[in-house]
Chains A and B, each alone.
Chain A
Amino acid sequence: MLEPTAEKGTTVDPLEIARWQFGITTVYHFWMVPLTLGLGPVVAIFQTLWVRTGNPQYLRMTKFWGKLYLINFIMGVATGIVQEFQFGMAWSEYSRFVGDVFGAPLAMEGLLAFFFESTFLGLWIFGWDRLPKKLHLAALWIGVAGSIVSAFFIIVANSWMQHPVGVELVDGRPVLVDIFAVLTNNTALTAYSHTIFGALGVGAAFLIGIGWYHLWQRRKDGIDTVDASGRVVVGENLAVPGRDRADHGVWIKSLRIGAVVAILGFGGVALTGDLQAKLMFDQQPMKMAAAEAACQDGTSFSILAIGDVGAKDCSQVVGVLEVPGLLSFLAHGDFTTDIKGVNTLVPEYQAKYGTTTADGTTVNYVPVMAVTYWGFRLMIGFGALAAFAAVVALWLTRKGTVPRSKWIMRLALLGILAPFAANSAGWIFTEMGRQPFVVAPNPNPSGVDGVFMFTASAVSSTATAGELLFSLISLTLVYGALMVVEVTLLVKFVRGGIAGVMPPEDTPADDDTDVLAFAY
């Protein structure tokens, strides 16, 4: 965090507005993205099962989850372009500094991934009944693969800011010399797998929560009952569109597949997270010290600390519950190596990277510890909660339906939010933990240690507070309103169930009238 300088103290600092804008628009964008990444493969698997087995249940699952997927997908598209433009608009000094290396993965994302994603999803949306079945399925898989490859290039770009590799310093500016080093940056590979597993968790929680709601609604409406031995008796109520016998299978399958995906996803998240943490202790020791609010060197992992963890001099942090040796284990795989605390690291950073920025502002090398400490714990906490909920869901539904309890149903729906929260907390932690750098130095013995940039030097020097406030306020208001619209539409289509996405009178289009299977 940067201290406002005395001269700027009375006015709004453009840097702070630009940072809030980047934070708000990125966190928001990354609510849509993990759902797209997580739900896409699931929909593609459902359609594959339908094409292979011909079982209409899988067609229904494809149509229902595909509809929710698209309602969300478009919001990711609409908010994604803001991200690319923002670098040049608000962070032009950053763009000039990193342009030789940072633009390439963004352009690759467009050419090698996003074109595939957008074009083939368009084919998929409008291609029902028009393309041969297998080609139509292939369109979806290519679109979904496009989104997953797209995430790779974006994480490559971000990881270069965490750990700049593949460059040489020429006239004080990083110049790309090895694109493969950038693409195989170990920071990127771990962060990418961590992100993909985390996204699967988001998609899975959707399947669990919404599947749960429908099974509960069927029980509430007296359609499904449970006999004396605890087994589910599947019924139907043809007065309610969509509520036939096969409808039950749609939801229980979705739910249980979701639970399995969630467990796999969170397992992957834990493993890759551990790898990431070990790298980060090497690459960004200050970030990890701040994640622990660890002022002194030590080996203990803090589960709970009280006091003001954001206090600058570390004097007020009081560890309440600590596990001796665990931090060393997370960082190095043993229980005894001391991990450097903030008080040790600050002089090291000052010696290497100076005490002031180019314009003479004093640099504070300690990230906002309240954010990093709690961001790290909320990420792990919400992730673990979601994984635990998935296991419970698998157990509670083992006989083929859900309990009648309205409260458990509500918890299942609320549980959808947990992996979203874990994703946001993780990103806020990793981006705030990189401060005061926008491009963090690479202290590895092999790294180009001189390549770094302070966030304070990255903002557009021409941007006025007025311009930035205009965009911050207008984007935030529009984003807020569109969130209401998206959630309203999602709720509407969730409650509509299968009949909402496949109207009963929907007979295959005959060739004379040639009515489209889908139109806006």
Chain B
Amino acid sequence: MELLPTIWFIAIGLLWIGYLLLEGFDLGVGMHMLVSGRTEGQRRVMLNTIGPVWDGNEVWLLTAGAATFAAFPFWYASLFSTLYIPLVLVLLGLIFRAVGIEYRGKGNSQRWLTFWTWAIGLGSFVTAFGIGAALALTTTGLPLDENGNRVGGPFVWLTPYAVLGGLAVIGFCLVHAAVFLGLKTDGSVRERSRGFVVRVAPFALLPIVVWVLAIQFTSGTIVTWAIVVVAVLAVVFGYVNARRGREGLAFIGIAAFLFAGCASIFAAVYPVVLPSTIDHAFDLTISNAASGDYTLTVMTWVTAFGLPLVLLYQGYTYWVFRKRLTETHLPEPHPVEPAVVR
């Protein structure tokens, strides 16, 4: 039993779940600004539900990446270099989205607003697709040789599994964000979001369900199947409550669905972190991809100290900004004119 690498496998799984849970609705809100927002007022309400928290949420991605580098450098190196093209697109998406969120409200012209709405929306779609593809591929495999290097060209990653994973995360983000918007807003955005969940959720969540089941059919155990059952119950619970307009319970349902769904995937692939589709002898596992015990011990202490604090103060932020937003809460945008005598 390799205790430390196992702990770190679980830790990285939790970091990814934390990321999808939190930035999942940030990305989905960005998509909904394009998909569901009809008026400038609605788009602003949507954007401001994530305003105080999105940047802190994005750090989960940065930390998941860095923790993978620290704990499983061979996993990090093989995955990131093989997925070069999709990760460039993720980076471009994240850049446009981040800058868009901060800069959109700092101009008034219609062109300015429209440009940044598209930057945020498309940036969110591209990011979600790329992250989903990467996560799906690290659970289903990439063509790696005995050194963990890619065999094949820059687009060898573009498989049905990559597309499935990309669509899975996009679909999840859209539903998750609609539940979130229903919980965090009032008025027309709340109504539209509830309608979206009721009408679209059964279809939008299909790809993620297919991904979960595909993993189970290849490497599932009795335990992981049990977790899948929990995931299914959670999503049904969430959906039923969304229909009844119980937004808090709906959010708990979809969050539990994500948690259990991801847990079933991670538990099923353990101890492999990145399978090779060429030969399973080349699989990267928690044993051959991990850092030494000393490094993992140091990182365990850092995480045991740091992560509970993060949960505490991020939780506090959500509590401070717990009120539902409506268009009447938003200050009028005002033009910024040079302070000069004309």
A462 on the B face (CB < 8 A): yes
Residues from chain A with a CB closer than 8 A to the CB of B294 are 175-177, 179
Is the Cβ of B62 less than 8 Å from the Cβ of A84?
yes
Q: How many residues of B contact A (CB 8 A)?
A: 83
Is the Cβ of B306 less than 8 Å from the Cβ of A115?
yes
Is the Cβ of A221 less than 8 Å from the Cβ of B302?
no
- Determine which of A95, A240, A460, A464 lies in contact with B339 in the assembled complex, contact meaning CB atoms within 8 Å: A240
Is the Cβ of A107 less than 8 Å from the Cβ of B63?
yes
What distance in Å separates the Cβ of B137 from its nearest Cβ neighbour in chain A?
14
Is the Cβ of A100 less than 8 Å from the Cβ of B69?
no
Q: How many residues of A contact B (CB 8 A)?
A: 95
Cα(A84)–Cα(B91), bound, Å: 11
- Chain B 74-88, CB within 8 Å of chain A: the 1/0 string? 101111111111011
Is the Cβ of B336 less than 8 Å from the Cβ of A514?
no
Tell me whether A100 and B292 are in contact in the complex, defined as CB-CB below 8 angstroms, given that A81-B61, A114-B59 are known contacts: yes
- Chain B 144-159, CB within 8 Å of chain A: the 1/0 string? 0001111001100000
Is the Cβ of B48 less than 8 Å from the Cβ of A482?
no
Is the Cβ of A81 less than 8 Å from the Cβ of B69?
no
User: Which one, B101-109, B166-174, B199-207, B267-275, is touching chain A?
Assistant: B101-109
- Determine which of B104, B307, B320, B340 lies in contact with A520 in the assembled complex, contact meaning CB atoms within 8 Å: B104
Tell me whether A130 and B320 are in contact in the complex, defined as CB-CB below 8 angstroms, given that A107-B66, A519-B105, A520-B51 are known contacts: yes
B114 on the A face (CB < 8 A): no
What distance in Å separates the Cβ of A390 from its nearest Cβ neighbour in chain B?
25
B317 on the A face (CB < 8 A): yes
Is the Cβ of B79 less than 8 Å from the Cβ of A88?
yes
- Determine which of B55, B77, B299 lies in contact with A121 in the assembled complex, contact meaning CB atoms within 8 Å: B55
Tell me whether A474 and B291 are in contact in the complex, defined as CB-CB below 8 angstroms, given that A111-B310, A519-B329 are known contacts: no
Is the Cβ of A176 less than 8 Å from the Cβ of B292?
yes
Residues from chain B with a CB closer than 8 A to the CB of A170 are 292
Residues of B92-145 contacting chain A, CB below 8 A: 92, 94-96, 98-99, 101-107
Residues from chain B with a CB closer than 8 A to the CB of A125 are 51-52
- Chain A 90-120, CB within 8 Å of chain B: the 1/0 string? 1011011011111110111111101110111
B53 on the A face (CB < 8 A): yes
A126 on the B face (CB < 8 A): yes
B210 on the A face (CB < 8 A): no
Cα(A242)–Cα(B63), bound, Å: 43
What distance in Å separates the Cβ of B51 from its nearest Cβ neighbour in chain A?
5
For A179, the closest partner residue in chain B by CB is: B298
Residues from chain B with a CB closer than 8 A to the CB of A214 are 339
Is the Cβ of B84 less than 8 Å from the Cβ of A467?
yes
A497 on the B face (CB < 8 A): yes
Is the Cβ of A176 less than 8 Å from the Cβ of B51?
no
Is the Cβ of A103 less than 8 Å from the Cβ of B103?
no
A499 on the B face (CB < 8 A): yes
Among A88, A240, A485, A496, max chain B CB count under 10 A is at A88
Residues from chain B with a CB closer than 8 A to the CB of A118 are 55-56, 58-59
Tell me whether A100 and B339 are in contact in the complex, defined as CB-CB below 8 angstroms, given that A90-B81, A118-B58 are known contacts: no
- Determine which of A82, A90, A122, A222 lies in contact with B341 in the assembled complex, contact meaning CB atoms within 8 Å: A222
Is the Cβ of B80 less than 8 Å from the Cβ of A88?
yes
Residues from chain A with a CB closer than 8 A to the CB of B96 are 478
Is the Cβ of A471 less than 8 Å from the Cβ of B88?
yes
For B149, the closest partner residue in chain A by CB is: A462
For A243, the closest partner residue in chain B by CB is: B339
Cα(A520)–Cα(B47), bound, Å: 7
What distance in Å separates the Cβ of A408 from its nearest Cβ neighbour in chain B?
18
A463 on the B face (CB < 8 A): yes
Cα(A112)–Cα(B66), bound, Å: 12
Cα(A461)–Cα(B292), bound, Å: 24
Residues from chain B with a CB closer than 8 A to the CB of A93 are 77
B313 on the A face (CB < 8 A): yes
Give me the 7 closest cross-chain CB pairs, A-B, nearest first: A99-B73, A88-B80, A103-B70, A103-B69, A110-B63, A119-B56, A111-B306
Other than A103-B70, A464-B154, A515-B328, give 5 A-B pairs with Cβ distance below 8 A.
A125-B51, A170-B292, A495-B336, A513-B328, A516-B48
